[in-house]
Homo-oligomer: A and B are copies of this chain.
């Protein structure tokens, strides 16, 4: 593999001059620069990023930390979309992306921050890491610049990008209220997820502004899981037949809820309106197509990468980014018919 040494020898100059020429420093005669570049091209030279990193103390590499890449992620396609956005931005820069993932099967003995330090990533994006993950703290408390997705923590070295979950939720519930619904249940994720807290907040706000009271019996958790949501929804709908609409904090849970309703012989949307959150691919394919609050996942990835790079380049930017949602009305929601009560 060619090195600047080789080039220097052939060009009959010092390695310093080669380095300077190749990096387009000004203090090199145009003549030698051309000559050196020609030779470099000739020898098919590629700089050794590791050697450079060693001296500059920068790797031009950003890490993407994901909790566990598994086949289950195929359904709600978060990762690809986030990745697509990150990639889109990163491709415009001279950074590359390193993927780190903890694997539940054979838990790696190294922690995230060890991984990051070993590989000398300049910064890192965290996605899908659970709030309880002990390593989350570690990364945040380390001095490695990082951007969190959907976890609103902010400091001089940590930023985040998230969807405006409160507003998103609110829009969905307001829409249901407009349709005449008053008995609106909520299928949330789990209490310790930030997004769940925000989405619940939006639900409350919408009810409050419409002067509807909160009924805690109508608020349940489906753990962001289709199957669990189905069970929980079955229970809920059986116990509380008065409910005319269920707002779900994820499409996957909405799908489970739909299944539950179907099994109970409840017609959607005539007897029960269902709204989800995310706008996953499946949402438009199920029957009836699911009304949902869409979040722009690839934009989240894009913004996360952008923010991180800006942080790395010491730009003075806000470390908190919140993206708008869009209510997509399909056929799982409709005017209430007040079936009972």
State the A residues within 8 Å of B (CB): 1, 46-51, 53-54, 59, 61, 64, 69-71, 73-75, 77, 79-81, 83-84, 87-88, 91-92, 96-103, 105-106, 108, 114-115, 117-120, 281-282, 285-287, 298
Contacts and interface: CB of A to CB of B under 8 A. Distances in A.
Contacts of A117: 1, 46
Nearest to A281: B74
A91 B108 contact: yes
Contact of A71 (B79, B81, B114): B81
B91 A106 contact: yes
A contact face: mostly helix, strand, loop, or mixed: mixed
A90 to B, nearest CB: 9
13 contacts: A48-B118, A49-B118, A49-B119, A50-B50, A50-B53, A51-B54, A69-B87, A79-B80, A92-B106, A96-B119, A97-B98, A281-B281, A282-B285
A64 B87 CA distance: 13
B71 A118 contact: no
B118 A103 contact: no
Given A49-B119, A50-B120, A54-B54, A101 B87 contact: yes
